[in-house]
Amino acid sequence: MLLLPLSRRLWACLALLLAPTAALPAEIVDAAYVASALARGAIAWDVRDTKAYADGHLPGAVNVGDVAALLRDPNREDWVPVAQVQALLGRAGIDIANREVIVYGRTGDPNPYWVHNGLRHFGAKASKVFHGWLDAWRAAGQPLSKEAATRSPVELVLKPSGGELMDTPELLERLKAGRLQLVDARTQKEFAGDDIRAIRGGHIPGAVNLPFEANWIDPDTSAKLAARQVTDRAGMSLKTADELRELYAGLDRDKEVIVYCQSGVRASVTATVLRDLGFRDVKVYEPSWLGYAAVLRAPAEREVFVNIGALNGRIAGLQGRLADLEAELAGLKGAAR
């Protein structure tokens, strides 16, 4: 029988199909792993705000408040300076240099993944994400706590690596050389330039659009929650490993993959999933589209610029309408007296 040579792409597809089903991912862990890790001294870090933490959390978990407000620059929306991160973690006793850290928030919340990728960047000994959180923890018959936990402060010296996060100059070098395998984890409308959240809309040339919600069992869960079509976040659970492999079958796991979104948060989810699927070199472009769009010489596809004049006009109109409503409300209150 004559065997015809197979293309490299076909071989890659066959390898994916024949690959054995992976065991529980190495970075994204379940309730059983968390319970075992806590028993051996791992640190649980609840990255939600203080009110959510007070309503119930993993026993012994520490909380410093909403990480999106504390550790992200309000303008650039990426990590605050290393010295600030180092000081906050040290005060909270989150000893990433010597202890395993389990990061969690609400099911489907990308912030724990953003923190996890940042901890890897800052030289964490071992960091994991507990994706399922409350539902998975309760389903496993594990208790919650409402008692605030504190840890003794530690002295930390963070040593950022170059293997986790990528900056704009490095990305532009890759783009110029044509050595890019890019995943855009934003929505389809953001990718197409129809939803503009920076100085311009569009996407980086050559990027493949795979919204981070595609990692979920039901990518439409957020919309369904907003419309009150569902009452819980179960649809935000991750797909099976086989389903995720199929989702990313068009990517070469042996080549560098760069993931971006609006500011690096949603991209962190996809980056972590890819590493757990066996992709060898995955980086998050930290400034993401917010930073890239601001570099006007950087090429873009489906490029659309924000009309500042029109935007200011709409804002002025809304402010006028708000003033009218406030005056109307004041009149109603006066008539009621």
Q: Per residue in 53-87, pLDDT tens?
A: 999 999 999 999 999 999 999 998 999 999 999 99
Beta bridge partners of 166: 285
CATH number at residue 300: 3.40.250.10
Whether residues 53 and 119 fall in one domain: yes
pLDDT(10) > 50: no
Contact assessment for residue 80 and residue 64, using Cβ atoms and an 8 Å cutoff = no
CA distance 173 to 265: 23
- Report, as an integer, the average pLDDT of 235-264: 97
Chain mean position to CA 123: 19
pLDDT(336) > 80: no
Whether residues 107 and 230 fall in one domain: no
> Which amino acid belongs to residue 317?
G
pLDDT(13) > 60: no
Residue 27 structure tokens: 């970075």
Whether residues 190 and 103 fall in one domain: no
pLDDT of residue 67: 96
Q: Where is 68: in which H helix or E strand?
A: helix 67-70
Whether residues 273 and 234 fall in one domain: yes
Contact assessment for residue 97 and residue 123, using Cβ atoms and an 8 Å cutoff = yes
Domain residues for the domain of 182 are: 165-308
Q: Which of 55-59, 127-131, 269-273, 328-332 has the lowest mean pLDDT?
A: 328-332
pLDDT(160) > 50: yes
Can you give the pTM of this predicted structure? 0.86
Across the chain, mean pLDDT equals 90
pLDDT band at 24 (very low <50, low <70, confident <90, very high): very low
pLDDT of residue 16: 37
Whether residues 184 and 245 fall in one domain: yes
Tell me how many domains the chain contains: 2
In the three-class reduction of DSSP (H, G, I as helix; E, B as strand; rest coil), residue 157 is classed as coil
SS3 content of the chain, % helix, strand, coil (to 5): 40, 15, 45
